[in-house]
Structure 1
Amino acid sequence: MAKFNATLLAITVAAAMATPAFAADYSDGNTHKNDYKWMQFNLMRSQGAKIPFGAQDDTYAEMEFGGRSGIFDLYGYVDFFDLFQSNSDDRHGGDNMFAKIAPRMSLDGLTGKDLSFGPVKELYIANVNNIGDKALFEHYIGIGSDVEMPWFGKMGLNAYARYVRENYGAANENQWDGYMVSTNWFKPFANFSNGSFIAYQGYLDYKFGANDVSDDGLHSSTSMEWFNGIYWHSDRYAVGYGLKYFKDMALVKDGSPIGNQDTTGFGHYFDVTYKF
């Protein structure tokens, strides 16, 4: 949950980012010509992360995966908290895991038509599912896209409506409540003779319009997470640091007297990755 997509596209589109993106072309009926898959394991350390209820400093393991098969595009990860079962870990005795599963279905591939326009190279029906092991289950559904941006190259840009299935007993459970706009990027900017490179990678998630519980003293109607990572990549390994800005993380109001919340400010992330 803390990293929440930090290395999205890190393996799958590294080569594509080095060159301009082109509109999806499925006119030949071959929707599997761009298939790929990847998986990696990350050892993560969060320090000062503005996670609700004081879960700020944690050492955890993450299984991260993604790929494409035909018209379906997938990104996901599962975090396993308090990896070393340490009493000094802020997650100790709390949630054990968090999972994010984010499939998208290509509308270009589904229709067999080129739906690109301007910088938008491909359109999707986009979905995100956030699942915590202690009463958290959110669904997001909307429209996704791949866009071509100056310098950055290919970026993801998605807009969703939010459905709350479980939210630790909050009053907005089993309701539509709010929206999210998200973007992510992966830009190699320094290449070495051995094939390794350094990349600027990150994402920005902005949630808004979550009004059903915003007056309960704990929740906010808006929230933002902005991750900025510098990572060194080789074929098998990656090492990186990320600086993340939080604003009312997870729609929990900063400074709330309920739990003395600290959910706004900067947090630090350190990552060592092994790629399969």
Structure 2
Amino acid sequence: MKKSLLALSVLALASTSTFAADQSDGDIHKNDYKWMQANLMYSVNELPGESDHDYLEMEFGGRSGIFDLYGYVDVFNLTSSADSDKADADSKIFIKFAPRMSIDAVTGKDLSFGPVQELYIASEIDWDGANGGVNQQKIGLGSDVMVPWLGKIGLNLYATYDSNLKDWDGYQVSTNWFKPFFFFENESFISYQGYIDYQFGVDDSFAALKTSSGGVMFNGIYWHSDRFAVGYGLKGYKDVYALKDDGLAGKTTGFSHYVAVTYKF
């Protein structure tokens, strides 16, 4: 399952800003924006399961007052092909919904310090609709941080609640970035974009299935115009979702490839 990419030029512009989110004037809507795009995707050797499959992703996000939002809905095997690795899957969807609430905007204060531009109460909901499938909620502290060359990145630390187990199970640190680095005369550009999700402190008492930590890193090179984007991504896995490599979940460490064609609404 692909994670979120901040794949819009408006976010590219935001990532180059060096100004903190000053909310002291009381106008919490001055930086509002919204976006939505459709991504036609194909993955090769996606882990776990070494799956090759097509899918449509509706991706969206924006800012409205105190709220910052990112999310997407994936629909697998669009052609209903019997040859797809998702043909017999229990669920043909995956949903991620990740709202953050700005502490700066709620308090009306500029809480920036050093490279930290803004602080949030961050959350994330992951769900695939299958009985006993992915059903997790995460809550923690989020931030926007300025780093050299990349510009502004999101950086969040969550505690994870597993609704299937009815218990808290470990933590996750996540970061994402969007860096335009080559511009054409027609104002289209090439970007380096991606994310890291790393789980730790996971209950590994079921040693045949789980490890205490694991994660993924997505590295994408995309061409963007006002309405379209085309890109390639390389995702590296290490015990993805804290599932033990070559355990009951199969292969969970390695690399997969993604190609994408995007239309921006």
Contact 2:139–2:158 (CA<8 Å) still a contact in 1? yes
Helix, strand or coil at the partner of 2:109: coil
Aligned residue type for 2:95: A
CA deviation vs aligned residue, 1:215-274 (integer Å, no higher than 9, x gap): 341122211110000000000000000000011122221101x25x01110000000000
Alignment partners' CA distance in 1, 2:50 and 2:100 = 30
CA deviation vs aligned residue, 1:30-67 (integer Å, no higher than 9, x gap): 0000000000000000001112xx26111000000001
Q: Which residue of 2 aligns with 1:174?
A: 166
Aligned residue type for 1:133: G
Contact 2:44–2:50 (CA<8 Å) still a contact in 1? no
Contact 2:63–2:69 (CA<8 Å) still a contact in 1? yes
% identical aligned pairs? 57
Helix, strand or coil at the partner of 2:105: helix
Alignment partners' CA distance in 2, 1:214 and 1:33 = 49
Alignment partners' CA distance in 2, 1:216 and 1:34 = 47
Alignment partners' CA distance in 2, 1:12 and 1:241 = 21
Deviation at 1:9, TM superposition (A): 5.2
Q: Which residue of 2 aligns with 1:31?
A: 28
Helix, strand or coil at the partner of 2:17: coil
Alignment partners' CA distance in 1, 2:41 and 2:237 = 18
Aligned residue type for 1:41: A
Aligned residue type for 2:3: F
Alignment partners' CA distance in 2, 1:105 and 1:9 = 21
Deviation at 1:11, TM superposition (A): 4.1
How does the TM-score come out when normalised to structure 2? 0.96
1:80 matches 2:96:
no
Contact 1:233–1:239 (CA<8 Å) still a contact in 2? yes
Q: Which residue of 2 aligns with 1:67?
A: 62
Q: Which residue of 2 aligns with 1:198?
A: 190
Alignment partners' CA distance in 1, 2:162 and 2:205 = 14
Deviation at 1:193, TM superposition (A): 1.0
Query: Any gaps of 5 or more consecutive residues in structure 1?
Result: 167-172
Q: Which residue of 2 aligns with 1:93?
A: 88
Q: Which residue of 1 aligns with 2:18?
A: 21
Quote the RMSD (CA, aligned, Å): 1.2
**1:254 equivalent among 215, 227, 245:** 245
Aligned residue type for 1:253: K
Alignment partners' CA distance in 2, 1:266 and 1:141 = 29
Alignment partners' CA distance in 1, 2:36 and 2:174 = 22
CA deviation vs aligned residue, 1:59-102 (integer Å, no higher than 9, x gap): 00000000110010000000001111112211112121000000
Alignment partners' CA distance in 1, 2:205 and 2:200 = 11
Query: Any gaps of 5 or more consecutive residues in structure 2?
Result: none
Deviation at 1:179, TM superposition (A): 0.1
1:48 matches 2:29:
no
Alignment partners' CA distance in 2, 1:219 and 1:11 = 39
After TM superposition, the structure 1 = structure 2 runs for residues 114-263 of structure 1, keeping only pairs within 5 Å, are 114-134=110-130, 135=132, 136-166=134-164, 173-211=165-203, 213-256=204-247, 258=248, 261-263=250-252
CA deviation vs aligned residue, 1:183-205 (integer Å, no higher than 9, x gap): 11100000011110000000001
Contact 2:50–2:251 (CA<8 Å) still a contact in 1? no
Alignment partners' CA distance in 2, 1:128 and 1:183 = 13
Alignment partners' CA distance in 2, 1:116 and 1:26 = 11
Aligned residue type for 2:226: D
**How many equivalent residue pairs?**
262
Contact 1:11–1:38 (CA<8 Å) still a contact in 2? no
Moved over 3 A (4+): 9-12
